[in-house]
Chains A and B, each alone.
Chain A
C-alpha cells in the first residue's frame, strides 16, 4: 500500500513550511539559513530544523563558503519526488476511472431493470 515515494521524502515535502523553504531555495539558489529565516513566518530554529529534515531526505545539501554555510536544492532528488507524485496522481486517476465504470454499469443496470417489466 505504499505510494511509490519513500517515507523520508514523503514527510519532508508533506509539510507546508518545508515546501515554502524548498520554494525559496529553488527560486534563489544557494542561500544561508539566516537569509531564509528572514523570508518565512517562522523562527530561525524552525528553519534550521526544516533544513535538517530536507537534508536527511536528500533534497537539500549544504556547503561552506568562507564563513557562511549555504544550502541548495538537489535537482535529481527533486525530480524523483516530482515523478513519485505524478505516479500517485496516476494511481488516483486509475481508481476514479474504475469507480466511474462500476457506477455507470450499476446505474445502466438498474435503469434497464426499471424499464423492463418483470
Chain B
C-alpha cells in the first residue's frame, strides 16, 4: 500500500469475535483509544473522537466482522476525513487456533495518485515496513556517512 506509515501487530488470547467487539464498540474504544468515542461500525458512518479538550471527526470505511475494520481520522481543522486529507487506520483480525487472534493495525497517509499502479506497488513492496522504519534507516545511514 502506498503511503503506509506504520504497521504493528499483537497476539491476543481471545477469538476474533471478542477482539472485534473491543475495537468497534464505542464504550470499548474509549478504553484504548480516545477519551470519548462516538462511532457506529457501519461503512460511511461519521463519528467523533475526543482526546482531552481536543478531538476530531472520524469516518468508518470497511466493516467486515470479524475480519477487517477501518476508519479515517486526523483530517486538518475538523474537515471531514476523506482520501487525501486524512490518515487511514485499518485493523485486520486473523484467527490462530480456536482461541487466539493476531491483530494487525496499519496507519497510512496520503496516497500518491499520480503514480502508475505498477510503480506504486514496486515502491510499496520496497517500503512495506512503513515509513517509520524507512526514516529510521535513513537517519542511521546519514549519521554513518557523516561520521565516516
Bound complex: CA A102 to CA B103 (Å): 13
CB within 8 A of B9: which of A17, A85, A96? A96
How many pairs of A and B residues are in contact by the CB < 8 Å rule? 139
Q: How many residues of B contact A (CB 8 A)?
A: 57
Assess whether A85 is in contact with B14, with CB atoms less than 8 Å apart: no
Q: B107 at the A/B interface (Cβ < 8 Å)? A: yes
Contact assessment for B112 and A107 in the assembled complex, using a CB-CB cutoff below 8 Å: no
Interface 0/1 of B76-96, CB less than 8 Å to A? 100000000001000000000
Partner of A88, one of B5, B31, B115: B5
Q: How far is the CB of B89 from chain A (nearest CB, A)?
A: 9
Chain B contact residues: over half helix, strand or loop, or mixed? mixed
- Asked whether A99 and B6 contact (CB < 8 A) given A16-B115, A73-B142, A107-B18, the answer is no
- Contact indicator per residue, chain B 1-41, by CB within 8 Å of chain A (1) or not (0): 01101101110111100110111000010011110000000
CB contact under 8 A between A103 and B18, given known A1-B74, A85-B6: yes
Main secondary structure of the interface of A (DSSP, over half): helix
User: Which residues of A from 38 to 85 have beta carbons under 8 Å from B?
Assistant: 41-42, 46, 73, 75, 78-79, 81-82, 85
CB proximity of B55 to chain A, nearest CB, Å: 6
On chain A, which size bracket covers the interface? 35 or more
Q: Which residues of B contact A75 (CB under 8 A)?
A: 139, 142-143, 146
In the assembled complex, 18 residue pairs joining A and B whose CB atoms fall closer than 8 Å, in A order, are: A15-B112, A16-B3, A16-B123, A29-B145, A41-B115, A73-B142, A82-B139, A88-B107, A93-B10, A95-B33, A96-B10, A96-B103, A97-B10, A99-B32, A103-B19, A103-B22, A106-B22, A107-B15
Beyond A16-B127, A103-B19, 8 extra complex contacts between A and B, CB < 8 Å: A14-B5, A17-B115, A42-B114, A82-B135, A85-B135, A96-B8, A104-B12, A104-B13
